[in-house]
Amino acid sequence: MTAKTRPCFCGRSLPYEACCGRFHSGTPEPDAESLMRARYAAYVLLRADYLLATWHAQTRPPQLDLTTPPQPKWIGLEVKGHGATSADEAHVEFVARYRVGGRAHRLHELSRFVREQGRWYYVEAIDHAAC
């Protein structure tokens, strides 16, 4: 299966190249949900460059090492909800499933995103009690 026909890692029914692949290549994400899905796909593909570039400067770590063991094997994404809190701020609630050492885990997060100069950025995870 090629990148043109492989289903996108983010869970949408589009092929990777037509879905998150275009965002990884530089096309701006149209909304916070698309950015969150593209960031999930970047974790699957170990694209630290994309993750850092889409992380807001105020909360972005200086570096991101995705190759140090134990590496998670990402196995699924479910978007639970999303919405705008203003014209330039939004949230996305999701559950990402992964395995480490054969053991399954779930990451349930409510994430905050902001739009600056026409681009969306991940800011932070909001308290899980808000989910």
Is 11 inside a domain boundary?
A: no
The confidence score (pLDDT) of residue 64 equals: 95
Give the distance between the most distant pair of CA atoms in the chain.
Answer: 42
Which of 42, 48, 81 is CA-nearest to residue 63?
48
Q: Round to whole Å and give the CA distance between 74 and 107.
A: 11
Does any domain span residue 88? yes
How many structural domains does the chain have?
Answer: 1
pLDDT tens digits for range 8-61: 999 999 999 999 999 999 999 999 999 999 999 999 999 999 999 999 999 999
Question: Which parts of 1-131 fold into alpha helices (H)?
Answer: 20-24, 32-44, 48-53
Identify the domain containing residue 78 by its residue range. Answer: 16-130
Report which of 75, 72, 122, 77 is spatially closest to residue 95, judged by C-alpha positions.
77
Domain CATH code at residue 92:
3.10.450.50
| pLDDT of the residue at 6 | 85
- Partners of 42 in the beta sheet? none
Residue 20 host element (H or E): helix 20-24
